[in-house]
Amino acid sequence: MFLPIVFILNYFCKKEYSNILLLIASLIFYAWGEPYLVLLMMFSVIINWAIGKAIDRYEGNTKKMYLVIGIVCDLTILGYYKYAGFFISTINKIVHREWLPVPNIVLPIGISFFTFQAISYIVDVYRGDTECSPKIVNVALYISFFPQLIAGPIVKYREINKQIEERNITWWKVSSGFKRFIYGLAKKVLISNVLGMCVDTIYSYDITVIDIRAAWIGALAYTFQIYYDFSGYSDMAIGLGKMFGFDILENFNYPYLSKSISEFWRRWHISLGSWFREYVYIPLGGNKKGKVRTYVNLVIVFFLTGLWHGADFSFILWGLYHGFFSIVERMGFKKVLNKSKIISTLYCFLVVNFGWVLFRANDTLTGIRYITRMVMPWRHMDIGIEQGFYLDRKTIFVGICAVIGMGLLKIIVPKKIADKWKDSIIEAIYCILLLILCLASIASDTYNPFIYFQF
């Protein structure tokens, strides 16, 4: 009932009350899953709005001091809730005893996303890239807007501040947004969930019984599961934004068609890559201070990218793994890749695929042992699990659809046919059928995990 009620109320209420309505709806949305931690998010809103006002008011060192205070406050909140247990347990392992008690802290949903948005707000105000908002409601809505609160995209205030102040809701925009929402929901429910069940089944087995067939099927299935899960959520967020008059920037651009890891990160989770580039990589010097400094900056960025995804060494290793290939490409390997589009695309896909194994495995050692089963099958020929336990015809069909939908369809279908399809009656009927299938699937199945909720 939440979406239709909020949509109808917002459509008929006066423009000057729309922000207040959407803010209340967003707080209710968050509080439904996090009854007490919604106060933490509101505390973050108040702190960052006040810091923004102070930055706008003062100059020189005082202005910089308030920026530092704001960033420290945001990172302290994020660090305590997301990383305190990880760092304390790491210290205990180093000293080989329970030197400090490991706290049992509940991770607030979406804390990494709304914290990064809060930091971008005060940094942009400091730089003069956006004006400080005189209304706390505007900042609160920017940080808590429910379509993209839980799992992004990460929106910069300067990209949306004018839309918060003034926006128009047209039926064309509503219909366009609703279609985008349905496509995203279908990605999640009809593709990602099906592949996810296959992945979870394979990864639930002890690593010692996984053979090359199961290892490759599990790895490939997860590669497409996480793409359709996260891009599906981003599509839904963008679609919902349009339904309420907002234009949220794209977060994915067919990343599995990339021809290098550097290109992959320009196509995958675009908002996160843009955030790190603008607020970490460039301030560190980017590529303007020599090759060695550039490589160091890349290592820092990819280390933080891995750490952002989760408080675990597996995520850190995954980030550094991508950083390694980005550096290798900058050192000259990119020239080799440019000689063949097919080989470079295959190279990038395989590198990303192996990386997702490290990302998905329960721990780093298991991930490495899993990869050895993919690349050294002769060492594990006498083991295996029955294929019927994890793979059926439905999963195979969905897997084929996933491969076609990762960008191949866009390449194959002529632009004239694609233009005729867009906004046609046939597309509308197709979307209705997709929606019915999604609702039927959700109603009949309790398996519906969102991978990026944990971040």
Active site residues: 309
3-class secondary structure for the chain?
A: CHHHHHHHHHHHCCHHHHHHHHHHHHHHHHHHHCCCCHHHHHHHHHHHHHHHHHHHHCCHHHHHHHHHHHHHHHHHHHHHHHHHHHHHHHHHHHHCCCCCCCCCCCCCCCHHHHHHHHHHHHHHHHHCCCCCCCCHHHHHHHHHCHHHHCCCCCCCHHHHHHHHHCCCCCHHHHHHHHHHHHHHHHHHHHHHHHHHHHHHHHHHCCHHHCCHHHHHHHHHHHHHHHHHHHHHHHHHHHHHHHHCCCCCCCCCCCHHHCCCHHHHHHHCCHHHHHHHHHHHHCCCCCCCCCHHHHHHHHHHHHHHHHHHHCCCHHHHHHHHHHHHHHHHHHHHHHHHHCCCHHHHHHHHHHHHHHHHHHHHCCCHHHHHHHHHHHHCHHHHCCCCCCHHHCCCHHHHHHHHHHHHHHHHHHHHCCHHHHHHHCCCHHHHHHHHHHHHHHHHHHHHCCCCCCHHHHC
Residues 6+ apart with CB under 8 A from 390: 198, 201, 202, 214, 217, 218
Asked if residue 377 has a cis previous peptide bond (ω within 30° of 0), the answer is no
Distance CA 355, CA 453 (A): 20
